[in-house]
Amino acid sequence: MTALDFASNAAVRPTWRWWVFVALSVVVLAGLPLVTDVSLQLQLSLIFLLSLLALSMSFMWGYGGMLSFGQTVFYGLGGYCYAIASMNFGTTGWAMLIAVLLPAVVAALLGYFMIYGRLSDIYLSVITLAVTLIFEKAIRATSGPEFVVGSVRLNGQNGIPGVPGLQVPWQDAPLSMEGVFWLTAAAMVTVYVALRLLLTTSYGRVLVGIRENEARMQLMGFDSRRYKLAAFVVSGAIAGLSGALYAVWGNFVAPEMFNLNQAAQVVIWVIVGGRSTLIGPIVGTGVVQWLTTWLGQVGVGQVTLVLGFVLMVFVLAFREGLLPTLGALGRVLVRRQPGDTAPPVLPARQSAPGAPRE
């Protein structure tokens, strides 16, 4: 396996080269704060925590076959749960745990009625879109003094300021900016590795098989609803973790976390990077966030319009996403012999069940 194979490798289990790639990534990420300024650390930390949100979508959509516009619901719930729990309890450890568990419970309830109700994929997407709008409108309507959870006012559109930073057991003060950088980087790498290993288990193989041909997997005796619901819950928990880390990063939560624009951006990240990969959405998040920041710095007023154009280009020209396309082109170039005259043919998309990609 070459370096170009990381984007679309169909190996059942990670090879030692993949583990070397992960180890080198950890070393590079651990050393970045030593050679970068605070501004870059802030930007990279934001990309890392948003990559978790993209990973949650990639796992559910790319491997479970369910396109959901409700990831921002769990993202926002995670942020608000952390803010409210940490400010009420005076401790951040339990608040972080609640911020992951509560979105998972909400995902389980919502997913149960949708998946066991045997809704088609398009109706599942529409319902999650409606739920996103409902949550955003509900949070924005909590500006009155009567909307209080414990001692914390929700403040409606103004959000909740002064969210405590995460406090780790071995130090008294909350995490510094460097600490937040390492925390978000560690969370991103851990979730990426965990999902990659999960896809090599029997559960992961069955889930990919359901994505490819659900009727066939049901005829083989697998309850597709149970597998899809589990994927929905896992993705909800990851999105909740992303929201909690955002609250730690910015010490602030607001209704914009539930925003429909945010939900659309998650889809763009995954499409740009490649929805049938796990490393792709991480790269897609970094590319789109960098492009958004750069467009703002050069004074482009219609950033959303430009991002929409980028999405159209990738949908038309890179249907599998950036990394899978580059990986396929790289393998073709590597395997062609100098004397070959036949035109290169890109490999078809993997359709065999149980073939997770790096």
Q: Assess whether pLDDT exceeds 70 at residue 347.
A: no
pLDDT band for position 334 (cuts 50, 70, 90): confident
**How many CB atoms sit inside 10 A of residue 70's CB?**
28
Q: Where are the domains of the chain?
A: 14-259
Q: One-letter amino acid identity for 68?
A: S
**What is the per-residue pLDDT for 352?**
44
Cα→Cα distances 148→59, 139, 151, 165, 255, Å:
35, 12, 6, 21, 16
Cα→Cα distances 72→14, 78, 136, 202, 331, Å:
31, 9, 10, 29, 36
Q: One-letter amino acid identity for 278?
A: L
In the predicted model, what is the mean pLDDT of residues 280-301?
85
Cα→Cα distances 22→25, 31, 102, 193, Å:
5, 14, 30, 8
pLDDT band for position 313 (cuts 50, 70, 90): confident
**What is the per-residue pLDDT for 13?**
80
Of residues 8 and 179, more confidently modeled: 179
Nearest alpha carbon to residue 149 among 92, 82, 100, 96: 82
Q: What are φ and ψ of residue 105, in 5° steps?
A: -65, -45
Nearest alpha carbon to residue 322 among 358, 269, 262: 269
**What is the per-residue pLDDT for 358?**
52
Kindly tell me the burial class for residue 25, based on how many C-beta atoms sit within 10 Å of its own C-beta (0-12, 13-18, 19 or more): middle
Q: Assess whether pLDDT exceeds 80 at residue 214.
A: yes
What percent of the chain stands above pLDDT 70?
Answer: 90
d(CA 108, CA 114): 10
Q: Assess whether pLDDT exceeds 80 at residue 319.
A: no
**What is the per-residue pLDDT for 5?**
39
